[in-house]
Amino acid sequence: MTPARGDHDARRSEVSAAVWRVLADRGFGGLTLRAVAAELNASTGLLTHYFPNKRALLAYALDLLDRHTVDRPRPAAERTSPADGGRALLRATLLDILPLTPEGVAGNRIWVGSWDAALTDPELAADHAARYRRARERLTELVAQAREQGDLTGEASVAEVAAGAQSFVLGLVVQALFAPAEFPPERQVELLDRYLDGL
């Protein structure tokens, strides 16, 4: 007898939650079929219905991480409205990438941990590059809006400014994760504001 669709969806939801808990606790280095099975109190055989191998598990985990990132709260953006101007929206978007809260630290630790897994597999690396490209395209739209409103000036193209902003913020994420005492939230905000002033 085939399981009901609702049962299948419920099990998939349980599996997703278990994958996320393993990522949060152990990072990508500790993400294995055995670890997820232990989290579910299930056999690894059950998981092969979802992930035939480790690579499939990693690909799924990267997609899950992407969904969590898209769906997570964005406090700076939520406090900003289009009436505040393009630069304010750009700043809010960049602030929401930084590890300024415990949730932001946890999410960024998982992202940085995912880089090694992605870089060892050309297909996963291409997927990751596409994710960063989409984020850069969103930043490009915000830079263009800020330029149109006169909030940002300069000679560089909007695409170059967006690429620079993304690179700056990702570099700051790494610094803050490795040296949190040197890069507490208030310093991260200060450095971002100085960067934007330089634009």
Amino acid of residue 120: T
Whether residue 178 sits in one domain with residue 85:
yes
pLDDT of residue 114: 86
Give the separation between CA 88 and CA 113, rounded to whole angstroms.
30
Give the separation between CA 114 and CA 23, rounded to whole angstroms.
9
Nearest to 99 by CA among 167, 29, 171, 163: 171
Whether residue 28 sits in one domain with residue 100:
no
Whether 27 and 45 have beta carbons less than 8 Å apart is answered as: no
Whether 124 and 118 have beta carbons less than 8 Å apart is answered as: yes
Q: Residue 53 is part of a domain; what is its CATH number?
A: 1.10.10.60
What phi-psi label fits residue 42: left (phi over 0), alpha (psi between -120 and 50 degrees) or beta?
beta
Whether residue 132 sits in one domain with residue 177:
yes
Last residue of a domain, one of 44, 68, 92: 68
Give the separation between CA 125 and CA 111, rounded to whole angstroms.
13
Whether residue 62 sits in one domain with residue 78:
no
pLDDT of residue 38: 93
Give the separation between CA 64 and CA 19, rounded to whole angstroms.
9
Give the separation between CA 96 and CA 121, rounded to whole angstroms.
28
Q: Residue 122 is part of a domain; what is its CATH number?
A: 1.10.357.10
pLDDT tens column, 114-148: 888 888 889 889 988 999 999 999 999 999 999 99
Give the separation between CA 3 and CA 5, rounded to whole angstroms.
6
Domain containing residue 8: 3-68
pLDDT of residue 179: 98
pLDDT of residue 171: 97
- 107 pLDDT tier (thresholds 50, 70, 90): confident
User: Between these two residues, 187 and 151, which has the higher pLDDT value?
Assistant: 187
Whether residue 78 sits in one domain with residue 139:
yes
Instruction: Find how far residue 131's CA is from the centre of its chain.
Output: 9
- 46 pLDDT tier (thresholds 50, 70, 90): confident
Whether residue 85 sits in one domain with residue 61:
no
Whether residue 85 sits in one domain with residue 64:
no
How large is the greatest C-alpha to C-alpha distance in the chain, in angstroms?
Answer: 66
Look over the chain and give the mean of its residue pLDDT values, rounded to a whole number.
Answer: 87
Last residue of a domain, one of 52, 68, 84: 68
Return the CA Rg of the chain: 19
Whether residue 104 sits in one domain with residue 20:
no
